[in-house]
Amino acid sequence: MDKLDRVGEWRRFSKIVEDHIVSYTIKQYQSEDGTTDQVAGWNPQQCIEAIQRYINRFGKSGRGFEDQLRDMLKIAHYASFAYDKMVADNRDSLIPSPKHKELIRKYDIERVLAALLPLSYQEMQKDYNVENNSPNYYELSESLVHEIIQILETIIHLSEIKDE
């Protein structure tokens, strides 16, 4: 049996989505000066509603295979809009309050720690168990959360300088 390659599958699919955006969406919906489009003023709920419209079309008579594939690309694109808008709407709430600890996906924090921090995993206080008792989250100390945020803010700041 062949080994699954979910990351490779995603990369192939995301490239197809990107090609669709460049060849169709930008030309069809973006303003001439490239500063706005019909989705710019939407909220996350409106993006989800657009996704639902495409989901509801799936399998309807008269919708050919190519149209259904194109709808999958549109769903992925609207999902990215919804995600970005949710993050933007809640950016302030992503900064932890000093009165509580943050729960962060274990996979994400391991990647951050391995790539960015000279700290060991001993800094983590305990595993936090979620559904089915699988340890997918770490409960982090407040100081470690703040250190991670500082590093990520520095990376964001440096990438903004690079883009200018």
Q: Are residues 84 and 15 in the same domain?
A: yes
| 82/12 same-domain check | yes
135-152 exposure pattern, b = at least 16 Cβ within 10 A, e = fewer: eebbebeeebbebbeeee
> Same domain, yes or no, for 13 and 74?
yes
Residue 2 domain-assigned? no
Measure the CA–CA gap between 77 and 72, rounded to whole angstroms.
Answer: 9
User: Do residue 84 and residue 130 come from a single domain?
Assistant: no
Residue 138 has pLDDT above 70, yes or no: no
Same domain (yes/no): 101, 86: no
Residue 3 domain-assigned? no
Does 34 fall in a domain?
no
- Strand pairing class (126-128; 103-105): unpaired
Domain range for 18: 8-28+41-91
Q: Check pLDDT > 70 for residue 17.
A: yes
Considering 74, 91, 108, which residue would you say is the last residue of a domain?
91
43-93 pLDDT per residue, tens: 999 999 999 999 999 888 788 899 999 999 999 999 999 998 888 877 655
Q: How far is CA 68 from CA 41, 55, 62, 80, in A?
A: 27, 10, 10, 19
The pTM assigned to this predicted structure is: 0.55
